[in-house]
Structure 1
Amino acid sequence: MNDTSSRAERGPGDQRPLRLGTRRSKLAMAQSGQVAQTVRQLTGRPVELVEITTYGDVSREALAQIGGTGVFVSALRDALLAGEIDLAVHSLKDLPTKQPDDLVLAAIPVREDPRDVLIARDGLTFENLPSGARVGTGSPRRTAQLNAWARSLGLDIETVPIRGNIDTRLGYVAAGELDAVVLAAAGLSRIGRLGDVTQFLEPDAVLPAPGQGALAVECAATNAQLIARLAELDDPFTRAAVTAERTLLAALEAGCSAPVGALADLLADGQVVTEMRLRGVVGSADGKTLVQLSTTGPVPSSSEEAVNQSVRMGHELAAAMLDKGAAGLMGERVL
C-alpha cells in the first residue's frame, strides 16, 4: 500500500503535513499558497508546498508545437499516483478534458475574473494601437480572435508568438520589444500585478480559454478522507460553468492549445441562479474565419443536475459549431 492510500485511513488527529504539489513558477506558487492556507484552515493540519518541474516549464518550444495538452500537468499527476504528494493545484485551463479514473478533481474553488487583458505601452487600448503594432501572445486562441478583432476595426497589427512567465512577458513591453501583450486577468490578480493592465478585454471581443481563471485541486481517488475535506472548497456554480466549457472543448476533440474560446455565464434572478449562457468560438489564425455560437439553458438547483445540464449544453453547442465548419479551423484534433 502506498503512502497516499495509508493517509486516507489515518484518523482525524493526524497532524502530519499534507504535501501540496505545485509548479515552480511565481504564479503557480502564489495560487498554490492561497489554496494551502485554506486547506490548513479546513483540516487543522500543516500544509507544505512541494515544487515539481513539468515538461512545459523546461521546454522552450511553442505550446502548440509540444501539444499543449497536459504538458504542465503530467509530472504533478505522476507524483500524486506515486504517493509523493497528497494533493496538487492546477490552473484548470491546463488540464486535459479526460479525467484519469485514479485521480479526482476534489475541488474547483470560486473562479477569478476569466477575462483576458491587454498590457500595452503608453497606456494604450487595443483600439488605439498604432499601425504595425506588435502584440505578443503564446495562444492560438488569442491570436485568432485578436486578428479577427483587428480586422473588424481596420487595424493593422502583428501577433507575435511568445513564451515565458508573466514577468518575462511584461518585460517585452517594458523593453520596447513589443507594443503589447495579452495575458489572463486571473494570473495577474494572483501575483498582485493588475495595476499593469491597460485594458480588460470583454468576452464579446475575445472569449477566454475554457476554464480560464479557475483552479483545480486534485488528489488520488483512494484518499476518501481528504476528498471529503477538500469538497468544502468546491464552488458548485464555478464547477457547473467550467464543466460546460470543458465539455465543449472535449466534444470538439480539441486540446488545450487549440484555438477554442469558451465562457459560461450564470444568470441570476435575484439571489437564485436560474440560467446559463454558454458561448464558444473557433477561429483561423489570421482571424479571417470565426465560428462563434452560443446557447442558453436552465440551471437546476441540484449541483449534480446542474453539472449534468452543463454537459448537455457543451455537447449541443459543440455539435452546432461542428455543423458550421469548426473542425476545419482547429488543425490537428485530439482523438
Structure 2
Amino acid sequence: RIGTGSPRRAAQLAVLRGDITCVPIRGNAGTRLAKVRDGELDAVVLAYAGLARIGHTDLVSEVFEPDSMVPSPGQGALAVECRAEDAELTGLLATIDHWQSRAAVTAERGLLAALEAGCSAPVGAYAALSGTQLRLDAVVLGEKMIVREHGEADATDAARLGRELAARMLALGAADLVGGNTDRNDAHD
C-alpha cells in the first residue's frame, strides 16, 4: 500500500505499477513518513523538494522523472503579481523575469484553462525548452482511459501550444476524464 495525497498521482502510479494499491493520505511530510515507519503503509509519494527542505532525502528510494510521473501544471513555479500601473515596480520585477519558466508555465496553464480544469483535475503537464523550442507533454487520467499527448512550438507560441494540445486531448475524450474536477476557483490554482 502506497500513500499519496493526490488522486492524479495515484492514477499515474496505477499506470506505472498495476500491482500496487494507492490510498489517500493527508498531513505534513513528517506525519506521512511516520505512516511508513509505523508499518501502516509500505511507501508514500512526496515531493523531493519538500524532503530536501526538511533534511530527509536519505529516505528517497526512487525519483519519478516527468516522462513517467507528469507533474501538475505550473508545479514548482513562482510568480509575482503587481499593479500594472506601477511602472517602477513593473520595471524592477522585469529584471528577475525568467522567460524560459514563464514560457513553460504559460503553456502548462494554457492547457489547463483550455481543458476547463482546476488543480484537482487529473491533469499533468510539463513543458521544457531546448533552445527556443518548447515541448509540452500532457496527460489526463481516468480509471479506464488515459489521454496522453505532446506537442512542440517556438517558446513565443507557448499559450497557443497549450490550447492546441488541449484541443487534441479533448477530441480524444479528455473532457469525460476531467468531468467534475473543473473547479477553476480552487484555492490551489
Q: CA deviation at 1:262?
A: 0.5
- In the alignment, the residues of structure 2 paired with residue 328 and residue 318 of structure 1 have an alpha-carbon distance, to the nearest angstrom, of 13
Q: CA deviation at 1:314?
A: 0.1
Q: CA deviation at 1:137?
A: 1.1
Q: C-alpha deviations, 1:258-315, integer Å up to 9, x for none?
A: 1000001211xxxxx131110100111x4x311001011223xxxxxx2xx1000000
Instruction: Give the alignment of 1:231-246 within 5 angstroms.
Output: 231-246=94-109
Q: CA deviation at 1:316?
A: 0.4
Instruction: Give the alignment of 1:286-305 within 5 angstroms.
Output: 286=143, 288-299=144-155
- In the alignment, the residues of structure 1 paired with residue 104 and residue 48 of structure 2 have an alpha-carbon distance, to the nearest angstrom, of 18
The residue identity in structure 1 corresponding to 2:16 is: W
The residue identity in structure 2 corresponding to 1:296 is: E
1:140 equivalent in alignment to 2:7: yes
Change (3 A) 1:239 1:193: farther
Q: Which runs of 5+ in 1 are unaligned?
A: 1-133, 268-272, 300-305
TM-score (normalised: structure 2): 0.88
1:210 equivalent in alignment to 2:68: no
Change (3 A) 1:319 1:174: same
- In the alignment, the residues of structure 2 paired with residue 188 and residue 239 of structure 1 have an alpha-carbon distance, to the nearest angstrom, of 26
1:253 equivalent in alignment to 2:116: yes
Change (3 A) 1:218 1:187: farther
Change (3 A) 1:191 1:211: farther
Q: CA deviation at 1:190?
A: 3.8
Q: Could you say what the CA RMSD is over the residues aligned between the two structures, in angstroms? A: 1.8
Q: C-alpha deviations, 1:119-146, integer Å up to 9, x for none?
A: xxxxxxxxxxxxxxx1111112111111
- Aligned residue for 1:311, secondary structure, equals helix
The residue identity in structure 1 corresponding to 2:152 is: T
Aligned residues: 183
1:186 equivalent in alignment to 2:49: yes
- In the alignment, the residues of structure 2 paired with residue 188 and residue 221 of structure 1 have an alpha-carbon distance, to the nearest angstrom, of 37
Q: CA deviation at 1:326?
A: 0.4
Residues 25 and 32 of structure 2 are in contact (CA less than 8 Å); yes or no, is this contact kept in structure 1? yes
Q: C-alpha deviations, 1:155-214, integer Å up to 9, x for none?
A: 2x2111112222222222222211111122233334443332111112222101111122
Q: CA deviation at 1:228?
A: 2.7
- In the alignment, the residues of structure 1 paired with residue 124 and residue 90 of structure 2 have an alpha-carbon distance, to the nearest angstrom, of 30
Match of 1:276 in 2: 134
Task: List structure 1 runs of 4+ shifted beyond 6 angstroms.
Answer: none
- In the alignment, the residues of structure 2 paired with residue 279 and residue 180 of structure 1 have an alpha-carbon distance, to the nearest angstrom, of 27
Change (3 A) 1:146 1:244: same
Residues 251 and 315 of structure 1 are in contact (CA less than 8 Å); yes or no, is this contact kept in structure 2? yes
Q: Which runs of 5+ in 2 are unaligned?
A: 185-189
1:331 equivalent in alignment to 2:179: yes
Match of 1:171 in 2: 34
Residues 120 and 183 of structure 2 are in contact (CA less than 8 Å); yes or no, is this contact kept in structure 1? no
1:159 equivalent in alignment to 2:22: yes
Change (3 A) 1:236 1:334: same
- In the alignment, the residues of structure 2 paired with residue 165 and residue 223 of structure 1 have an alpha-carbon distance, to the nearest angstrom, of 38
Q: CA deviation at 1:222?
A: 5.1
Residues 184 and 212 of structure 1 are in contact (CA less than 8 Å); yes or no, is this contact kept in structure 2? no
- Aligned residue for 1:217, secondary structure, equals coil
Residues 186 and 213 of structure 1 are in contact (CA less than 8 Å); yes or no, is this contact kept in structure 2? no
The residue identity in structure 1 corresponding to 2:107 is: A
Query: Which one has a bigger Cα radius of gyration?
Result: 1
Match of 1:311 in 2: 159
Q: CA deviation at 1:218?
A: 3.1
The residue identity in structure 1 corresponding to 2:135 is: R
Q: CA deviation at 1:220?
A: 4.2
- Aligned residue for 1:205, secondary structure, equals coil
Match of 1:65 in 2: none
**Bigger fraction of residues in strand:** 1
- In the alignment, the residues of structure 1 paired with residue 98 and residue 39 of structure 2 have an alpha-carbon distance, to the nearest angstrom, of 41
Q: CA deviation at 1:247?
A: 0.6
Give me the identity figure in percent.
56
